[in-house]
Amino acid sequence: MDDREIRILLLEDNPSDAELVKRELRKAGLGFTAEWAQDQAAFLHALESFAPDIVLADYLLPGFSGLAALELAKQRSAETPVILVSGAVGEEVAIETLKAGATDYVLKDRLSRLGPVVRRALQEAEQLAQRKRAEAALRDRDRELQLILDAGPTLIAYVDAEARYRWANKTYERWLGRTVADVPGRYVREVLGAPAWQKIEPYVQRALAGETVTYEQELSLPQGESRWVYASYTPDRDESGRVQGFVVHAVDITERKRAEAALRELTRTLESKVVQRTAELECRARQLQKLTLDLSQTEDRERKRLADILHDDLQQQLAAAKFHLGLLGSRAQFDGATQKAAGQIADMLMQAIQTSRNLSHELSPPLLYHGDVGETLKWLAGQIRTKHGLDVQVRTGGPVDAESEALKAFLYKAAQEMLFNIVKHARIGTAKLRLRRVGGYLCLIVSDRGRGFDPRDLKATTGFGLFSLRERVHLLGGRMKIRSAEGRGSTFFIAVPDGVAPEGAVRVGPRAYSACETPDSPAPKEGSHAGEEGNHAGAPLRVLVADDHEVVRQGLTALLREQRDIEVVGEAANGREAVDLAYQLQPDVVIMDVAMPLMNGDEAARQILKHRPRTRIIALSMHEEASAVARMRQAGARTYLLKTSPTDELLAALRGPSSHPN
């Protein structure tokens, strides 16, 4: 009890006895405020207005008894203790009052007991009130918990060691079509039905053996409906570790499964369409490639026809005219003026014949139809040396021929155009030409160490210029690459399929370039300018993109390929692949994601820099934690950027030699 004054309602018709009771209570050390009632009316009024903590009632009153007062007090508040105080009452009456609800009974001749009895009664009343408050709070919590358990979509239940339900929430009613009250005490197999029990029995046995179990299963429920569930069983153990049962958590995932099935079907449909469209594109690419070869072959036939006309008609007629002129000269041997004129005409005819022969060879060299590609290019080198003074070193590594005369003629014209470009712009006396076969592709490399040029100036021109050459290479299913640095020379790479490219090989990748490059091909040094197919002037910044998200790699690659001074040399989907490609492709910069499969970004960066210390590593990640930044910095990354950063920051970091601030 607290230290507040006790409110005591004293029902007593004798004033002396009332004062005697108060005195005994004071002697017991109780602090109290007393309200004295002498009859029933005053007692009822005091019960309402005074709200006593305890009632002390005389047993015998005129027209009113202690038992009646007890009943009235209990009606007002069942927790208020009532102690009957009377003169002389028998044991039977005392027992009767206690049964009626009295807290205790004290005789007036033993009022010395009254203080302890009152104190004990008040303590018991307080304990009872506390217990009732606790029970009420517990009922409220139980109600709230039950509301929470019943409101959600999760099926929750407790299954005992005999595989019987002890309790289940109302989700069972929605699942099974039966009330929760029907579930407790029933076996799981009885509630769910035989078909569902056959599927979940192994999981139940594992849970009863003490194992935490999770599973996804399609179950046929008693009402005939089939539903997918995701369930977990958590064992319940007593203090000795024995399994008493397990708690069931189950979620209806039918809609998710249906969505997954629809997504799989959509994926299969899309994949089928992609395969179909890819096949169509490859077919069209092969058709376009064949048309390009046919066009080139048509041009070659026309050139050969003109060459044949020059050789078979014009040259023969010129030769015949020369013979007739000689005959005329012999007849006018004594006519000096005539002989002189004949000699001049003969010289003119010889020049015409030589010009016709040269034009015939330029239109359609005979070796195009009688020798392999290597022999034709060697003949071309001799012609270039004779006509333009450019010494061309030709290397073929043995006989190399093309499958079709059209491709052979194309390679001849490509080499001719590139050598003419050196003659016109390089201002140097030597050049190198290499021809080799790499798998199903023919690779042609022409290089010089002359003045170089800016690839941005490569514009569309009429005729068979470099721009037109590049376009035709693409139409043939190949690729053309130009590296040029001012003052450091130029290198032209061409790789084309030998004949119509087979399916799956319509385009040649960067490995064909590395296989085609010769050890002595002049490559622009670091800091020089370079370009490829329209890139910026200057040495292209060779970049390897390493990210395990395909959608990120595609976006980065598309962004970087729009930059004229940047060349994306490869893509890696994991850390290990990034290390391998860095060894093979030797990029200037590696854009590295931090978290990747097989090998994390920091370890990949560490291995790359171990073998290629001059390679710059730019970390690009969604993680902004200081630990991730520190890990990449310690591994050697120059820059750490977030994927959400502006693209200008990434481009500046790529082009800038110094570390970018975080």
| Model pLDDT for residues 197-243, shown as the tens digit of each residue | 999 999 999 999 999 999 998 888 777 778 898 999 999 999 999 99
For residue 293, pLDDT over 80 is answered with no
CATH class for domain 152-252?
alpha beta
Q: Angle CA(453)–CA(457)–CA(460) in degrees, nearest 5?
A: 130
Q: Which of 134-148, 316-330, 434-448 has the highest mean pLDDT?
A: 434-448
What is the arithmetic mean of pLDDT over 104-116? 82
**What are the pLDDT digits (tens) for 591-619?**
999 888 999 999 999 999 988 999 999 99
Confidence of residue 75 (pLDDT cuts 50, 70, 90): confident
State CA 390 to chain mean position distance. Answer: 56
pLDDT at 301: 67
DSSP 117-156: HHHHHHHHHHHHHHHHHHHHHHHHHHHHHHHHHHHSS-EE
Element (H, E) at 272: helix 254-308
**What are the pLDDT digits (tens) for 179-191?**
777 788 889 898 8
pTM above 0.85, yes or no: no
In a 10 Å sphere around its CB, with 0-12 CB exposed, 13-18 middle and 19+ buried, how is residue 8 labelled?
A: buried
Mean pLDDT of the chain: 78
**Residue recorded with tokens 């502006």:** 646
For residue 319, pLDDT over 90 is answered with no
Q: Would you list the domain boundaries of the chain?
A: 6-135, 152-252, 276-362, 365-534, 540-662
| Closest by Cα among 532, 598, 608 to 568 | 532
CATH of domain 6-135: 3.40.50.2300
**What are the pLDDT digits (tens) for 403-420?**
777 788 888 888 888 888
Helices (H) and strands (E) in the chain, counts: 21, 22
Q: Quote the tokens at residue 61.
A: 């009153």
CATH of domain 365-534: 3.30.565.10
Confidence of residue 192 (pLDDT cuts 50, 70, 90): confident
The answer to which of 20-34, 273-287, 291-305 has the lowest mean pLDDT is: 291-305
Neighbouring-strand partners of residue 85: 58, 106
DSSP 195-259: HHHHHHHHHHHHHHTT--EEEEEEEE-TTS-EEEEEEEEEEEE-TTS-EEEEEEEEEE-HHHHHH
pLDDT at 576: 92
3-state secondary structure of 616: strand
For residue 144, pLDDT over 90 is answered with no
Q: Are 515 and 472 in contact (CB under 8 A)?
A: no
What is the arithmetic mean of pLDDT over 253-272? 89
b/e for 83-95, b at 16 or more Cβ within 10 A?
bbbbeebeeebbe
Assigned fold of 540-662: Rossmann fold (3.40.50)
Q: What is the largest CA-CA distance in the chain?
A: 192
Q: Quote the tokens at residue 514.
A: 């590395």
φ, ψ (nearest 5 deg) of residue 539: -60, 125
Q: How many CA atoms lie within 13 A of 542 on its CB side?
A: 20
**What are the pLDDT digits (tens) for 517-573?**
544 444 333 333 333 333 334 578 999 999 988 877 888 888 888 788 889 999 999
Q: Is-same-fold flag (6-135; 540-662)?
A: yes
More confident residue, 451 or 359: 451
Question: How far apart (Å, rounded) are the C-alpha atoms in residues 230 and 228?
Answer: 7
Residue 494 makes CB contacts below 8 A (sequence gap 6+) with: 411, 414, 443, 444, 445, 469, 473, 478, 479, 480
pLDDT at 659: 40
pLDDT at 591: 93
pLDDT at 304: 63
Q: Which of 281-290, 501-510, 546-555 has the highest mean pLDDT?
A: 546-555
Question: How far apart (Å, rounded) are the C-alpha atoms in residues 45 and 43?
Answer: 5
Give the residue ranges of DSSP H helices in 309-440.
315-331, 336-363, 367-370, 373-388, 405-421
